[in-house]
Amino acid sequence: MKVSTFALTAAVTLIASSSSADTVAWWHFDDAEPGTTANSGVVTESVSGSTATSYYLWSNQVQQANSVYRPAFGPTLGFSVYDPVSGATNTNRSAMKFVTARGGATPDTDAGRAYYGGALKVDGGDTLYSDCTDSVTIETFVCTTGGVYNTFAPIIGCLVGTSWTSEKWAIYMENDGTIAVRFNGAVWYSGNGTPKNTGTLKINDGLWHHVAITWDGNTVRTYVDYTLDKRASDKADREYAKTGTVSYSGTATWIGGYAQHDPNSGGRKFPGLIDEVRVSSGALSPDQFLRLVSTTVDDMVLHLRFDSDVARAIEDGEVVADSTGGGVQAVYHSVAGANPSTYDTVEKAGAAVADGLYDDAPVADTASFCQFTNAADNANYIKAEAATACLFRDGTSNTTNHNYTVEAFFKANGEGQIRKTLLKLGSKHLPAHFITGESAKAHQIQFCYRKDAALTWTSGGYTPGDKPYDDGNWHHVAFVSDASNKTVRAYYDYLLVAEAANVYVPVPWNEPLVIGSQENGTAQFFDGWIDDVRVTRRALSPDEFLTTRPVGSGPATLFFAGLENGYNFTFSGDDGWSVDGRGRANTSAGNVPTFEKVSPGDLLLDGANGTVRTSNDYSVRLNKSYIEFPTSPLYEQRAFTVEFWAKFTGYVDGGGEHDGAYANLSYHAGILRFNRATGSEFDWFFYRQNRNAKGTQVAVRNADGTVQYCNFPFDRYIADGKWHHYAITFETNEANTETTVSVYDDRKLVASQTCAGVYQYYGGHKLQFAMGSSNPPFTLGYVNSVRFSRGVLAPDKFMGRVKSGVILIIK
């Protein structure tokens, strides 16, 4: 079955609530195999306070006896469903299928306007939705099957009695495939309102779609596939004012149709599949809606986590596989005279590892595999026999074309290890091999493979440029065989470092996965730590790789500097890469930065994680001074967001200090630079444009080393003496040929510009405040709460300020 592409783009939605929403009803429909006729009370549900479930058919007894119109368990895509609110992933074995027909009083009569079909009814809405009187979210997945219906088809509704005009809330599909909404006496569908309320996003294409409505006590919003719908008439957002409260007295929930059966007006029935219906007691944002996890765990061949609560030596012959989806065992092999390998509970890839493919919830990472070479350059290794056999879905034993991904975390012990095998899939045919560099490239990783060209084997190798693997940090590597598109790719720390087209890497049958050794006569033992080795039977994208922080549930904070009378970072996890910021005088006549008890707000709201900082008293005064945050190479991301609060009061140049309206600086007044760890070259530089007190620019060093200047004009003076929130986002394509740069002022998009990639420097960086292109000029003022995040944050996920005990983000 086809599936629509869900665009998981969070709309700019401000949530005026200090508490998270709770799930009050969730119907899973996972009790029986597809094709089984549903009976009363046989529907999986996660609800509080619900009463007995019953099904309703058109009132004619002949029709009730005909089971063809009863709801039945129907097919799904076989995906799991992820709940970002709780972090839980649930299996999804079946959906609820609703069949419709048109006819008269009997099944044999093909006349009249009556529409037959079943519907699911759950009584007791007044109890079920007692916490939804002030705000609510209703969401579900739907797939049309081409049946008939009259004017519009109810997907889900909460009714008083059996009248379709008395809904407390309802979601319909109109006859053009768009979504119609009723809410507490108001109607928003075709022909209703001025301008007309017909939507633009359609669901009648036979694909699975996610639909939702939310109400925050003031506004009803309509979403299709995680995107705020727009009216067809004027392309305005489908946001409707609706205040007050909702009384659920005497209501019941109807799914797939209503009890309406008047032949003169037609029955209200939905023709298709409905799955995972959830009601929440609050207005969720799109990134909190349910979503499908687009694969099953059967795609995982092997995942070696090397987790142990106790640091200990590993015994010869010990099975170390603790998570496997393909029945493969990984066995530890000792080498005579080699140092014992251990589970190291101190060194590990991260405090937690998240699986971007199956479940975004992080799992504790308690240990790593540690092996050290001896004086004879020998060590021990791990071998999983017949690992490649699990890449053959159909069980055939011929060498053929396959999609797969091999990935791992590692940390080298010492510098310049030459020709050391990190891991290798396959022995003789060598489909994929990660090794440290040759003598001329001692600090690089090589990604090697053998390709099939007219059935002859030739060697190929990749190196990731000048990024060192032996810098004392943990790194992630991945090799992807995208056989469907005859492409192979190599990734280093989630960045595409090499790619070859018009090749594929055949997989030999019954070949091993070897970790830490070449193991075919030339040992090449790796020296260091290895963690979370995974082989997957799919060509994964970087956002599906393993990560030391969860990526699918939202961009992760890489560091947060609260500047509460100290330059220390606050990290989301104890990752071992933390460093301290520092402040210095900008020139010999400058001043050391000082902490002053002034802030943009009494509290800070973390929009990405929904948390509030209870302490936000101090800011740093930049008085002819600067702050510098050294950043780890791990922060070099394809997509990231930098944001901060600042109150700029003026500028400094060779002629002295000037106020915010001063427009004649002949040089750029520096605000923020992302600079190399050593030297003065920047990757990008955000500054007040020369001779323009309201203009800003971002200078971006393109992938080829040239500098491109992007203009971002403000509608106010930059140094106006007031607190403002600033954000800059960067999003680069995999080939690093195009980067979109966006600048936000107080959460409002100033502009977006495109440049030719971003220069990839792999030696580490530093983030600098109030550094100019020359020294001086630079900007004077205050800085507060600096955050660097992986991914492009939506404005509603930026840091917010709270001036009272009520958590409210105000644009």
Q: Which residue has the tokens 């939507």?
A: 199
Structure tokens at 638: 């394809």
pLDDT digits (tens, 9 = 90+) for 735-771: 788 899 999 999 899 999 999 988 766 556 788 888 8
Q: Which uninterrupted H or E stretch holds 125?
A: helix 125-128
What's residue 63's pLDDT? 47
Could you tell me the strand order of the sheet in which 186-188 lies? Answer: 53-56, 119-122, 251-255, 152-160, 167-174, 179-183, 186-188
pLDDT digits (tens, 9 = 90+) for 351-388: 778 777 665 567 788 999 999 988 888 898 999 887 88
Give SS3 for 286.
helix
Within 13 Å, how many C-alpha atoms sit on residue 642's CB side?
22
Residue 463, pLDDT > 90, answer no
Within 13 Å, how many C-alpha atoms sit on residue 782's CB side?
23
Give SS3 for 485.
helix
In this structure, the strands spanning 381-384 and 513-515 are: antiparallel
With a CB cutoff of 8 Å and minimum separation 6, the contacts of 313 are 340, 341, 342
Chain Cα centroid distance, residue 170? 29
- As a whole number of angstroms, the distance between CA 719 and CA 757 comes to 30
**Percentage of the chain modeled with pLDDT above 70:** 75
What's residue 522's pLDDT? 67
Structure tokens at 520: 């075919």
Instruction: Answer with the residue of higher pLDDT: 343 or 145.
Output: 343
Give the pLDDT band (50/70/90) at residue 241: very high
What's residue 182's pLDDT? 92
- Cβ atoms of residues 632 and 764 within 8 Å: yes
Q: Which uninterrupted H or E stretch holds 61?
A: helix 61-65
Structure tokens at 201: 């996003």
What's residue 212's pLDDT? 96
Structure tokens at 129: 């939705």
- As a whole number of angstroms, the distance between CA 380 and CA 316 comes to 9
What's residue 401's pLDDT? 58
- As a whole number of angstroms, the distance between CA 269 and CA 255 comes to 9
Which amino acid, one-letter code, is at 199? G
What's residue 663's pLDDT? 87
Q: Give, as one character, the DSSP assignment of residue 390.
A: G
Measured at the CA of 551, the angle between CA 545 and CA 552, to 5 degrees, comes to: 95
Q: Give, as one character, the DSSP assignment of residue 38.
A: P
* 713 upstream amide cis, omega within 30 of 0: no
Structure tokens at 648: 């700029």
Structure tokens at 809: 């983000």
- As a whole number of angstroms, the distance between CA 358 and CA 296 comes to 7
What's residue 133's pLDDT? 94
Question: Does the pTM of the predicted model rise above 0.75?
Answer: no
Burial state string for 536-568 with b = 16 or more CB within 10 A and e = fewer than 16: bbbbbebebbbbbbbbbbbbbbbbbbbbbeebe
What's residue 722's pLDDT? 93
Measured at the CA of 785, the angle between CA 604 and CA 576, to 5 degrees, comes to: 110
Kindly report the average pLDDT of the chain as a whole number.
78
- As a whole number of angstroms, the distance between CA 442 and CA 415 comes to 8
Mean pLDDT calculated for residue range 292-296: 54
- As a whole number of angstroms, the distance between CA 101 and CA 116 comes to 5
- Cβ atoms of residues 115 and 175 within 8 Å: no
With a CB cutoff of 8 Å and minimum separation 6, the contacts of 656 are none
pLDDT digits (tens, 9 = 90+) for 626-680: 888 766 544 566 788 999 999 999 988 877 888 988 888 878 899 999 888 777 7
Q: Give, as one character, the DSSP assignment of residue 389.
A: G
Residue 3 neighbours by CB distance under 10 Å: 13
- Cβ atoms of residues 659 and 624 within 8 Å: no
How big is the chain by its Cα radius of gyration, in Å?
A: 30
pLDDT digits (tens, 9 = 90+) for 20-69: 588 998 888 876 767 677 766 556 666 554 454 665 554 443 344 455 66
Polymer length in residues for the chain: 811
Q: Which uninterrupted H or E stretch holds 127?
A: helix 125-128
